[in-house]
Structures are given as C-alpha cells and as structure tokens.
Chain A
Amino acid sequence: MRRFPLALLLSAGLSSVLPAQTVTVGALPPSPNFAFSLDGALTVVDLAHPAPVAATLTSAAFNWSTAPCPAAVKLKFFRASPNGSFLLLAERGPYNVTSLLLFVPLSPPVDVQAGDLIGIARISSCGSPVGQSPGAAAGVIRFPSDVTSDVPGSSGSVSPNVTLSVQASGTATLPPTSPDPAAVVPVVGSTPGALGGSFFRTSVQLHNPGTAAMSGRLVYHPQGFSASASDPSLFYALVAGETRSIADLLPAMALTGLGSLDVAPEGNTALPLLSVRVFNDAGSFGTTGFTEELVTPADALGSGQRGVLVGPIDTARYRYNVGVRTLRSETRLAIVLRNAAGTVTRELARTYPSNYFEQRDSAAFLDGALLAANDTITIQVVSGAAIVYGATVDNQTNDPSLQLARRIP
C-alpha cells in the first residue's frame, strides 16, 4: 500500500460579510395612540414586520409612554419556531428612556435571519410600550414577563390589528462566498468504545473516477473544537482511475480520537470517491461496522429544515449517540423528543459553533432526558447548517449502525 505524506492544511476560509442595503425589522407607526397597560414586566413582539432578509442590526428606535424612565426597556429579537415557540436570539439594554421617542445603539450588533422578529420589554414599572390601533393585521404577541429564554407561543396573548412602535435598522448580509468544505465525512475515529473492550477504527478507500489527475487533502477536525488552521490533514494525489486504501485513517495521520473529516480538493480538481468504513476491530475475531458516505453541504440540514432520528428498539441492549457536525455558521438546533405514540416528552435547544463536531450519548445530547425504545428525535435547524446523525451500538457485539437525519420535504 502506498503511503501518504502528512501535511498541514490551512483551515477553510471564514465567513465573509459584505454590506448591502438597509434593512429594518419592526415599525414606527406615524400616530401611536395607545399604551400596553399590563402592570409589571411585559414583553411585546411585533408579528407583522419581520426581517425581510438576513441582516446585521446596529441601531433601534421606539416610542415609550412616559419619560424619563431609567433602565426601563430592553429590546429583544426572536425567531418563530414551527412548533409555535419563540426562540430568543438576543437582547440589548436595559435602556434609559429620556424622551418619548428614543434612538439607541445595538451594541454589539444583532445578526438576524429573514423572518426574525423584534420585541420590546418593560422591565420596571415606569411607562409602557406603545402602538397604533388599528394597525397591522398580524399584530403582536404579548408575554406577561421579561422573556429571557425561548418561550412557547401558548403562554402569550395575540393582539391582531395593532402596530407596535419599535424598529431596528442595519444592513443586509450576503451569504459567505464559499467557506464550506466540498464534502464531509461526518464522523471518523480511532478510539476505544464505551463498553466491552471495543475499539473503533476507520478505513478509507479513495478513488479517482475521472479522466484527469486529482489531488487534495483530507482535513481532520477533532471533536469538541471548531475547525482551525492547525487541524491536521493528509495529502492525496490520484491518477485517473486510481484507487488507494488506508487501513486506519487516524493512525495514518499520527492521530487518535474521534472527529470529523473534510475533503478539500486542490484547485479545480474533482472530488474523489470515498468508501469509508467505521468498524469495531476485534482483531482475529474480525470486524463489525458500517459504510459511511460523503455528505456535501447541499445535503446538510439548512436553516428552517428538519430531520428525524429514530432511537433504538431496546435501550438496554443498545446504546445511542447523537453526532452534530456544523458547517460555516454558528448553528442553532431546536430539538423535540417524542415517544412512539407521538407525544412530545422534551423540547430543548442547542447552539454549536461553526465548523464544529461533537458526538455525545443521547442523554447528554437531550439534557439528561433518557431515551425510551422507539423514541424519535426531531432536529430543526433554527439557524446555520448541520449534519446530524444517530449512532446505535449493540452492547453485546459493539456493532455500530448510523442513521443520518435526512431533510424532510
């Protein structure tokens, strides 16, 4: 077998953000004519004027019923989840109200996606948010508290046909040029398993299916870290039709552990075909494992998309891990656990850095919730993009299987 020279590869480029047109979220109606009268803390979210495109918001303005009011107001940004929840993205403030119409900076700026919403919170008993009625048909939703985390829509009250007086402004952001890897092998490893003396390895066959030579690097990102310039890589070069075999990838790169692999072709060369097998190596007793395919960024779950993982049939006989590999952006996941009857038993959210990988046992992934037989885990990408998988391992044989969370149409 031919050996590969080891080399280091600079990390894939980071996202670039270019200025574009001015974007506003929310509205400042010309003639505010009422104040929200609830006593105590209050958060009002404008449902009628979402962000039209992704943007970086740098300033805001709002009307208030009374001035002055010290440290009375916070501005908040939400994303509506398909399950009816409002996911808190960011908040700024508290702000001192010094006039009935106040202009304030958003520091640091707030990044929003198309469809994100703005809200305003009263955090003292001085004054109230104001609005105009009649106003926008979609109106607002009110929560009787200073909302500081994700909140179900059912805990609020919708008021249609009113326009809340709060607006944030900034500049549209264009998508990054091409920071994503050409393709990803979501998980590779050379590492002891959790039980029974198991030891998992990763064999790789690279094949050039084209008629021209190709070259590039396999870049390893260890678990628990975002991709960095110091991540190790392995150079490959293949003539037309050639196939190379690596019996255990990570030791071939002088590595051990668990991580994720990028395929980075050089120049304009095409992607090689990879046949990757992750297996438990029982020595002379043989191997048990699965074949893992390359995943392109187009196959990842993108913002607003969802997929479902199905847990094992028997949680005593099988252990279950969930792996997440993010792409170019920080990625937020909304996670819903259901039992076999379809009843929701847990909801939670997770946020991962860009180009990050981790695999955790299901209880850790689900914030301590124990998976029951035939439970399902619905993964909704709130922002960013990720490849998510579930890995089932038989506790008797240590044989692993893998299910990718495929996009649901």
Chain B
Amino acid sequence: MRRTIGFLLVALSLGVAGPVTAQQVIVGNLVESNSSDGNLGNPRTAIDLANPANLAGNVAEAAFRWSNSACPNGIKIKFFRRSAETLQFLTERGPFSTTNFVQVVALVPPVALQAGDLIGIAKLAECGNATALSPGAPAGYVQVAGDVTTAVDLAAASTVRRPNATLSVRAVGLASEGLASIVPVVGSVAGVPPSVFKTAVHLHNPTASPLTGRLVYHPQGPPGSGGDPSLAFTLASGATRFFADLPAEMGQSGVGSLDVVTPLGGALPVMNVRIFNDGGAAGTTGFTEEPIAPSGALTAGQRGVIVAPPDTLLFRYNIGVRTLEAGVLMTVTVRNAAGTVTNSVVKNLSGNSFEQRDSTSFLGFPLAANDSLTFDISAGAAIIYGATVDNRTQDPSAQFVRRLP
C-alpha cells in the first residue's frame, strides 16, 4: 500500500512549453508478421484493436503486409471509431492491388481521424491474406465476415476476437494536434488507510482568444495509446476551470500520467495541479505539480541527478519515470554521500509509458541516506523524478532530474 501513496511529488517545470509544432498521427502498426489472419472466408475484414490513432489528424498514406504480392484490386483499408463495444464505420479507401509483400498506398482523399480511431483491412478477393504477428499485442484484433461498411458489434457471436496478435497494417499522416506538455504523475487512489489521494487541477486560459485542447490519461504500466481516455476542454479568454479530482472526473482510478494535447499552433493553458491526501475535515496534505514540456525531458547523451532523503527511516523514497515516444535506455549510478560509486543498474522502458516504484524495487538494491542517483540517458527520452514521503504524515515531496550542463 505504501507504494500507492508514494506517487505524490512536487514538480517544478523542466521546460517552458510553447505552441506545439507538427507531429505525426499514426494508427495501426506495420509489424513483421509471421502468420495470416484467421480464415473467415472471402470477403472478410480485420480491425486492429491494439493501436488506435495517437492523435487527431489526417492520414494520407497506408502500408500493410499481404501474403501475396500480386493481387489486383483485392484490398481495402477501413477506419472505425470505437464506442464501448461498438466500432462505428467511418470510411474506407481502395480497392488496392499488391505488387509487393509490403504494400504502400496513398489514401486519396486523406482520412480525418480522431485520437483513438482504429484501422482495419479487408480482403476482397481470393488472393492472399492480411498478416499478423503472433504472439503480439494483448488487445489483438477482431475479424468480421464480409466487406464491412457498417458498425461492428464486438459482443456479437459473429465477431471473432484474435487476442495477443498484432495486425500488420498502418496509416500515417500529419496530426492536427500535438503533445504540448506532460503532467508526469496524477492519481486518484486510496493509500494507507484512511488516506485517499486525489488530483485537483486548475486550467486557465491566459490568452485573449478561446483555448481548446484535451487531457489524456495514461495509466501506469502499459504503453500509452490513442485509445487512452481523454477529456476535452474549452476555455474562454481569461477563464479558469477547476476539477476537484481529475482522474475521477475522467472515470479513472489509480495512478497514471497526463498529456496535455492542443491543436497545432494553439496556446497552452496555465495548469495548477495539486495532488493531495484528502483528510476531509482534518484537511489536506499535498503539493503542486507543474506540467513539463516534452523538450524538458532528458534525452540521449544527457545526464541528471536526484538525491535520496536524508533519513531513510523517517522517509521512504520512490522513483518515477515517464518516457516519451521512443522509450528510454539509461544507466543509473548510485553514489554515497562521500561521492563513492556504490552500485549501478541499466533500465530499459518502452515508449510513452509511466511507472513509479519504490526505490528498492526500481533499482534492485536499497538506498542509504543522502545517496545520489545519476541518470545517464543512452537512447530515447524520459522525465524522471524521485518522490520522498514522510512516513509519519504521508506527506510527499519530490525532485525532478534536471539536465546537467
């Protein structure tokens, strides 16, 4: 239980976020396949559930792996929007022919997608099959008989689930929105009884024009995806909106990380995030956390340091990592207060993921008072912090790994 309350931290920004610049919208995944899709006859449609669109935007190009490199007008690319157990059909492009096993096709006209939308691929003729990698993504894909142009009911007996497999089809294009900043950790979770931690958020529009965007919640553990829950916001000029417990208002519980997504060129709201233990009439204990621009993350070749608490009996210590798109490969070097290296460990975390663990679990060995932890990034990028929690009050503090000159 201590781990759950230890996610709290005080964050000071690592970078000043500005308007977002061009980013790529991606839906699906062009994996190296090792099998064909299931045989539901001809025609049939397969829909990827594991790789929804990461951002809103217009996809203009698709690629897929097909089992036959010479199929005339045998394939369509389709797009769906998920609502609970229903996949609403959006549009399709094709039919396309294959001249290679990996076929790249233009989507004309481009297809406008929202974050979370899904891609599918239809086999129209008796010539080759869609392919997949198995084992693959846990969410897998689904198959439906026919050249689907209507909604798909995921609960229907006629819809065949293919979990732990990744369909090899992907579309890309220019996003119409982008990741503007990250709140590394948010939570709505019960801690050591009777503590209950919540995340209060103020959003303020400091500009003279209306401001829009989305808050996207990535739960701890799995890599972030376009299907993660989000909350759209609109703020009039100068207006401030308040969420008493943001994850709960998004229908979420637990610990996670928050993206602030804004339209390309759009302004960023001022955010005041407070994570606190809600003691009811006894009051709150917590801290203010600032969003961090993606440019504030440590990247390959960079180094930063945090310092463990001065007393490891009175305080416990957690380490949190939020990676960016490429994940992170890093070495953590631990020194004692005198500066002597006492241990080191290599960590490799996947893209757009978040995890916070107690320091011993994270490192594989315990820390001593006033130990320092040096993070050297070999590849990728990450926001890293250390969170100190007073064992008597459960009050947290935190220190972010700042880039050293």
Contact = CB atoms under 8 A, between A and B. Distances in A.
Given A240-B339, A394-B284, A293 B370 contact: no
Interface stretch (A173-181, A255-263, A395-403): A395-403
A-B pairs with the 3 shortest C-beta distances? A396-B283, A342-B238, A241-B339
A290 B238 contact: no
Interface in B233-261: 236-242, 244
B153 interface: no
A59 interface: no
26 contacts: A209-B372, A273-B305, A273-B404, A275-B399, A289-B395, A290-B10, A290-B287, A290-B397, A292-B10, A308-B270, A310-B240, A310-B270, A338-B238, A340-B239, A340-B242, A341-B239, A344-B238, A374-B242, A396-B279, A401-B10, A401-B274, A401-B286, A403-B272, A408-B206, A408-B270, A409-B268
A401 B282 contact: no
Contact of B12 (A240, A313, A404): A404
Given A286-B395, A310-B270, A293 B400 contact: yes
A317 B279 CA distance: 12
B392 A409 contact: no
B240 A340 contact: yes
Given A241-B340, A290-B10, A409-B17, A285 B392 contact: yes
B310 interface: yes
A401 B404 CA distance: 26
A277 B242 contact: no
B194 interface: no
Interface in B197-242: 200, 202, 204-206, 236-242
**Which of under 10, 10 to 19, 20 to 34, or 35 or more describes the interface residues of A?**
35 or more
A217 interface: no
B393 A285 contact: yes
Interface in A281-321: 282, 284-293, 306-308, 310, 313, 317
B391 interface: yes
Given A245-B310, A277-B397, A288-B395, A397 B339 contact: no
Given A277-B397, A342-B205, A207 B240 contact: no
Contact of A243 (B19, B372, B390, B400): B372
A401 B390 contact: no
Contacts of B345: none
Contacts of B241: 340
Contacts of B371: 243
B366 interface: no
A18 interface: no
A15 interface: no
B339 to A, nearest CB: 3
A376 interface: yes
Interface string A381-409: 00000000000101111010111101111
Contacts, number: 177
A409 B405 contact: no
Interface of A: 203, 205, 207-209, 239-245, 247, 270, 273, 275, 277, 279, 282, 284-293, 306-308, 310, 313, 317, 338, 340-344, 374-376, 378, 392, 394-397, 399, 401-404, 406-409
A404 B290 contact: yes
Contacts of B270: 307-308, 310, 376, 406, 408
Contacts of A287: 390, 392-393, 395
B307 A205 contact: yes
A399 B395 contact: yes
A282 B370 contact: no
B284 A399 contact: yes
Contacts of A392: 274, 288
B338 interface: yes
Contacts of B162: none
Interface string B90-118: 00000000000000000000000000000
B285 A376 contact: no
A344 B282 CA distance: 34
A133 to B, nearest CB: 33
B22 interface: no
Contacts of A399: 283-286, 395
Contacts of B272: 310, 403
Nearest to A287: B390
Contacts of B339: 208, 239-243
Contacts of B372: 207, 209, 241, 243
B383 interface: no
Contacts of A375: 240
A312 to B, nearest CB: 9
Interface string B340-374: 11000000000000000000000000000111101
Nearest to A209: B305
B16 A343 contact: no
B30 interface: no
Interface in B311-327: 314
B377 interface: no
Contacts of B402: 273, 293
Contacts of A270: 405
Contacts of B267: 409
B13 A406 contact: yes
Contact of B307 (A243, A290, A293, A409): A243
A177 to B, nearest CB: 21
Contacts of B236: 341-342
B19 A291 contact: no
A265 B285 CA distance: 35
A100 B44 CA distance: 94
Contacts of B239: 340-342
A340 to B, nearest CB: 4
B337 interface: yes
B294 to A, nearest CB: 14
Contacts of A203: 310
B290 A406 contact: yes
A273 B290 contact: no
B306 interface: yes
A207 B337 CA distance: 8
A310 B273 CA distance: 10
B393 A288 contact: yes
B18 interface: yes
A287 B395 CA distance: 7
B398 interface: yes
A241 B204 CA distance: 41
B335 interface: yes
B288 A401 contact: yes
Nearest to A246: B310
Given A245-B370, A275-B307, A342-B239, A288 B16 contact: no
A178 to B, nearest CB: 16
Contacts of B286: 399, 401
Nearest to A208: B339
Given A310-B240, A401-B274, A403-B288, A317 B16 contact: no
Nearest to A204: B310
A406 B16 contact: yes
A306 B207 CA distance: 11
A305 B238 CA distance: 17
Contacts of A285: 392-393
Contacts of A291: 9-10, 12, 287, 388, 397-399
Nearest to A206: B307
